[in-house]
């Protein structure tokens, strides 16, 4: 299950990068819509902070310190900053998954999870985090499509990626495809 989760995490993080590339400007990444409080930029920061904390820091002892409030408060940074955050999340997730064994996956996750003080195995929680990542990736896609009136798909769920080696890379959308 570790290799399968790696493919899913890296595929979804690569899709976040492609979504960012399809926004027409850095400013557009931070736009919100009526009735929607989070921008795509804030969702990317939230996903990176979530994965770096719950996978990297909790399971991989990376030392990452999360500031969840800042994930939703930051605004206006260039996409290059968001790409760097995505690259750090890819690194933390990939390096941590390299450390995991089936025994670790079956063991209790190292901390109880608020708000319900839930206990779960590491494997169950990693599946939950993959679902959380996909949920917010869908929100980013819809924000981009609505805010920019851009119906183009970013190749968010390429099935072929499931059959590839675990060495997925974040690849930006070619400039010709963005035009």
CA neighbor of 8 nearest in space, from 154, 166, 120: 166
CA neighbor of 89 nearest in space, from 117, 122, 60: 60
Instruction: Report the distance separating Cα 84 and Cα 4, nearest Å.
Output: 24
Q: Check: CATH 1.20.120.450 for 2-158?
A: yes
Q: What is the pLDDT of residues 121-148, one digit of tens each?
A: 999 999 999 999 999 999 999 999 988 7
**What is the separation, in whole angstroms, between the first and last Cα of the chain?**
39
Where the chain has pLDDT below 50, the residues are 165-179
State the pLDDT at residue 163: 62
From residue 100, alpha-carbon distances to 89, 94, 103, 126 in Å are 17, 10, 8, 11
Q: What is the mean pLDDT of the chain?
A: 86
| pTM given for the model | 0.86
State the pLDDT at residue 64: 96
Q: What is the pLDDT of residues 101-128, one digit of tens each?
A: 999 999 999 876 655 677 889 999 999 9
**Token pair listed for 155:** 């190749």
């Amino acid at each position: 299950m570790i290799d399968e989760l790696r493919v899913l995490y890296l595929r979804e993080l690569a899709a976040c990068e492609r979504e960012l590339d399809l926004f027409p400007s850095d400013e557009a990444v931070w736009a919100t819509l009526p009735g929607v409080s989070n921008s795509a930029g804030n969702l990317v920061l939230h996903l990176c902070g979530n994965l770096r904390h719950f996978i990297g820091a909790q399971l991989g002892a990376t030392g990452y310190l999360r500031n969840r409030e800042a994930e939703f408060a930051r605004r206006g940074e260039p996409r290059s900053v968001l790409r760097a955050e995505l690259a750090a999340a890819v690194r933390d997730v990939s390096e941590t998954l390299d450390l995991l064994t089936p025994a670790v996956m079956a063991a209790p996750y190292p901390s109880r999870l608020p708000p319900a003080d839930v206990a779960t195995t590491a494997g169950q929680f990693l599946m939950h985090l993959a679902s959380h990542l996909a949920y917010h990736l869908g929100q980013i896609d819809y924000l981009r499509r609505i805010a920019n009136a851009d119906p183009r798909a970013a190749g968010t769920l390429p099935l072929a990626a499931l059959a590839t080696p675990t060495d997925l890379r974040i690849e930006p959308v070619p400039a010709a495809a963005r035009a």
